[in-house]
A = this chain, B = another copy of it.
Amino acid sequence: MKVEIISKIFNPWEELQAYEKTLIAQGKYGAVATFVGTMRDYNEGDIVQAMFLEHYPGMTEKYLQTLSETALQRWDILDTLIIHRIGEIKPGETIVLVAAWAGHRAPAFESCRFLIDELKSRAPFWKQETLSEGVRWLDQCH
């Protein structure tokens, strides 16, 4: 199990390859489901030039650790990996990587989906987009 908050550009496929090499369970897993979220150059009809991703140091890591532990308890899976980018991000760059290793495909898919869904709805990250007219936070307290 690994959770990482990273402030520089990362290649999700190289991270997966590197992490998988550390798994002692070679030959023990039969299924890996992954999700990679990438920055689009458009959102809600606007062209987006860049993005700034803020987080809550300490709470974000704690939240993602607990989330990973929950997935490992709830599904018959062997390992999980979450890497999330923070700071300045450009279109085409990876924002998030989530992966789950399992014996079979159903728990791999379900836990991977659970991790990204919960991350998106509860992990303390906030996106600020840079448009040609200025910046905007994607969510505000009304």
Residues on A lying within 8 angstroms of B by beta carbon are 11, 13-14, 16-17, 20, 26-42, 91-92, 103, 105, 108-109, 112-113, 116, 120
Contacts and interface: CB of A to CB of B under 8 A. Distances in A.
Given A11-B17, A13-B13, A36-B32, A27 B103 contact: no
B26 A37 contact: no
Contact of A26 (B27, B42, B92, B116): B92
Tell me the interface secondary structure of chain A in the complex.
mixed
A32 B38 contact: yes
Contacts of A30: 37-40
A108 B40 CA distance: 15
Contact of A28 (B13, B34, B41, B113): B41
B33 A103 contact: no
A40 B29 contact: yes
A102 to B, nearest CB: 10
A41 B16 CA distance: 21
